Amino acid sequence: MKQTNQKPSTIPARWQWPIDVTSYDRSIILSNQERAAIERLMHRSVMDDIRWGKHTYQALERLARPLYDVCGLRNTPTNTRAKLTGRLCIEMSHRKKTFWGWSPDEWKETICVTSADFLQRYGNGTETRQYIAAVAYLLTGFNDVLSLGRLHPIPLAMKVFGDTVVNESIKTVHEVLLGWGFTTYFRQNWSNALCYALIVNRSPYPEDLTYELLDTIRNGPVPEYLKTHLPNLSRVLVSRGILRRPLPPRAAKNCDTEPGPLALNDVAPEWARWCQNWRDTSTLSAKTRQTTYYALLIAGRWAARQYPQAFTPEHWTRETAAAYVAAVCRMTVGQFSHHKHINKDQLGKPLTARAKAHLLSALRMFFRDCQAWGQLPCRFDPGRSLATPRSVRACIGPDPRVIADDIWAKLLWAGLNLTIEDLPSCTSRWPESDKSGSWYPLEMFRAVIIVWLFAGLRSDEIRRLRVGSIRWQREGMSETVLDETLTTGATCLLDIPINKTNTAFTKPVDAVVGEAVTAWEKVRPSQPPVIDSKTGEMAHYLFFYRNSYLGKNYLNETLIPMLCRKAGVPEQDARGRITSHRARSTIASQLCNAKEPLSLLELQQWLGHKDPNSTMNYVRSSPTKLAQSYRDAAYFKHNLRTIEVLIDQEAVKSGAAASGEPWKYYDLGHGYCSYDFFEQCPHRMACAKCSFYIAKDSSRTQLLEAKANLQHLLQEIPLREDERAAVEDGLDAVEKLYAKLVDVATPAGQTPREIEKKMRRELPILR
């Protein structure tokens, strides 16, 4: 009885399948002679002995010939060929059938998942493991190599496809990678990923690979090092026109992964289903959906414990919403949470105001969206019933974490004086990563750091800057790229990509930014375009190197600590850790506190904000600038008025002043006041002309002004609001001040009303 297996999958005409399985006797039944010969071999002390004898070889010739043909493709050593035949004879003896009839599971059991399992099963001869895999692959069409762990794809591909064609495919891919900045150190990694894909595809040509195949391999049970390099392999295939689109980076898929079982603990299944439906329907970014989703699960746990009847959003009422708001205001760190990685020192402490606002905002958004989509009835208004309490909102306000001027100055110096010796070394992981031992070239390091120090960008905007984003503009010339000889004295313009709050825009930056970016663009290896996650268009990113994005945490975890070490400053200050976003606040505050500061509108446009309230979150006036502005405002002087004072030195020297004679005269314009404590007189701005008043047209005044020993001085008098109005607003304000003081006693003891009556009685009656 013979099994009529079909020939393995179709191979392009330019490469023929090396083994013609139709020429063999593929019966799965062991003959009596074959069983007897295998039994004789099993009883021998050395199973791998190649000296079978004439009768044994004749009995097993049907089974040995296809095995020898496979080994003949690579000139396999005789002892390895004997071990291969011996291992398979043992398995055929155990299974009572030839290898032509083994199932995929039986082949996996024979090949073993790891070399350690193979050694434990057979005792020795691990080098034959790949030959057994080649036999299964070439003779029986076995293709489940995804489940075989680390099978060393390169030598296996050469065993089944041949050295020449495999080396040519590897060379084709590696030439592209070398042009992207990779070194020969990475050849083994990419070659393994390529050969693995070629084996699964049953073709030695990269042109036959498909997007679906690479995605299946990455999602399959393959070693992690292969999954890491498959996206870059797909970009090589895109650059050669083989694929239309590359595999997305694995990091981009993390936010959309399903939560683990721990995340759904103590959450009602119905509530979890509603939350998942919102997560799948919402159009927010992946990160926002993820954080909101976990906040909704916290609300579900609270409802399951405190309000079991509200196990679905449909059962929530205004009273339930009010109870949840109150519970959030009293919630502590770790309560109703599933995270195991919460800092133990923070457990049990009250939530911050921002955390409370986030929990309420998430649930408010959830109910508002579900009601807008028609999935929930409008039983209550989420905007009012789940509003953040005023006491919580009062604790949230602009709090820019500005870096101190002395620390920032040292960081600027370190960034401008960066050398190769300062770069973080990665030779322990990638010995041939770069001449300096760093992952990125010095020019790229310097460009990233200078942009961070001078451009005031978010970390995402820095990562998404595009090639050609620097432009130079001279006065009277259009915005264009100028010749290097013309950039001196020109304004450097930086094109900022679309961000989370605004569309793309252009802003001026320091010329040092343009020089650093231009120096990097000159040595930057050509890189393939990638899809911009925000716009969906193909873009050439400025800091895209070796076919990889600048890491999201690279600034915070590598560059900034390295810069702090060079500058000799701590990585943390009084406001916390120095992070990428703190530079944005520092630069904005310095521009606001400059000698000729930017206005709020100009600063808003420079930062790329739509709302000026967002700009206020980045600006803090320095105490020095605030003190200078206070001095310039002249608040105290605004409430002072200067009055001329005449000092009678003769009265002072003669002692007459000590006996009560007037010696100080305040010039009121229309007369003098001889009251010593004039600044305390309530009538100083509306003189009632009491006994201390001396009119300028009187003989006493003429005698006073005729003295030669008078000293002229100026004295500042503080004014009340009504007195200042009398000075600034004119006659109406003076009359109001007179009316207000009409019954207030003068220094002489009489009120203005009494003085006026006395003057009327003393005036002569004209007949």
In the chain, what are the domain boundaries?
A: 24-142, 163-247, 256-393, 405-616, 636-762
What is the average pLDDT value for the chain, to the nearest integer? 80
pLDDT confidence band for 125 (50 / 70 / 90): low
Query: Residue 513: what pLDDT?
Result: 93
Query: Residue 326: what pLDDT?
Result: 94
On the question of pLDDT at 639 being above 60, the answer is: no
Instruction: Calculate mean pLDDT across residues 564-576.
Output: 89
Instruction: Calculate mean pLDDT across residues 311-335.
Output: 91
Instruction: Calculate mean pLDDT across residues 401-420.
Output: 90
DSSP, collapsed to helix, strand or coil, labels residue 457 as coil
Query: Residue 632: what pLDDT?
Result: 64
Pairing of strands 538-539, 530-531: antiparallel
On the question of pLDDT at 466 being above 90, the answer is: yes
Query: Residue 51: what pLDDT?
Result: 57
Query: Residue 716: what pLDDT?
Result: 66
pLDDT confidence band for 655 (50 / 70 / 90): confident
On the question of pLDDT at 105 being above 60, the answer is: yes
Query: Residue 520: what pLDDT?
Result: 94
Is the distance from CB of 359 to CB of 284 less than 8 angstroms? no
More reliable by pLDDT, 382 or 310: 382
Query: Residue 757: what pLDDT?
Result: 73
Query: Residue 222: what pLDDT?
Result: 79
Query: Residue 410: what pLDDT?
Result: 93
Lowest mean pLDDT among 124-138, 223-237, 466-480, 728-742: 728-742
Distance of CA 568 to the CA centre of its chain: 25
On the question of pLDDT at 471 being above 70, the answer is: yes
Q: Taking the domain 405-616, which CATH number applies?
A: 1.10.443
On the question of pLDDT at 589 being above 90, the answer is: no
Neighbouring-strand partners of residue 646: 665, 712
The candidate with the shortest Cα–Cα distance to 111, out of 74, 151, 72, is 151
DSSP letter assigned to residue 352: P
Report for 144-158, 346-360, 526-540, 738-752: range of highest mean pLDDT: 346-360
pLDDT confidence band for 522 (50 / 70 / 90): very high
Determine the Cα angle at 665 with ends 664 and 668, to 5°: 155
pLDDT confidence band for 554 (50 / 70 / 90): confident
On the question of pLDDT at 420 being above 80, the answer is: yes
Written as six digits, the tokens of 424 are 């973080």
**Backbone φ/ψ region at 181: left (φ over 0), alpha (ψ -120 to 50), beta:** left
More reliable by pLDDT, 391 or 761: 391
In the chain, the amino acid numbered 189 is N
CA distance 617 to 584: 11
CA distance 516 to 495: 15
Is the distance from CB of 141 to CB of 215 less than 8 angstroms? no
Query: Residue 8: what pLDDT?
Result: 41
Percent of the chain residues topping a pLDDT of 70: 81
In the chain, the amino acid numbered 122 is Y
Residue spans of alpha helices (H) in 373-458:
382-385, 390-393, 405-416, 442-454
Per-position DSSP letters for 494-541, written without gaps between them: EEEPP-SSS--EEEEE-HHHHHHHHHHHHHPPP---EE-TTT-SEE-B
On the question of pLDDT at 761 being above 70, the answer is: no
Neighbouring-strand partners of residue 535: none
Query: Residue 435: what pLDDT?
Result: 46
Instruction: Calculate mean pLDDT across residues 225-240.
Output: 85
More reliable by pLDDT, 320 or 500: 320
Task: Quote the pTM value.
Answer: 0.64
- pLDDT tens string 383-404: 999 999 999 988 887 778 889 8
Instruction: Calculate mean pLDDT across residues 508-516.
Output: 93
- pLDDT tens string 694-719: 887 777 777 777 776 666 766 666 76
Query: Residue 308: what pLDDT?
Result: 85
pLDDT confidence band for 447 (50 / 70 / 90): very high
More reliable by pLDDT, 496 or 692: 496
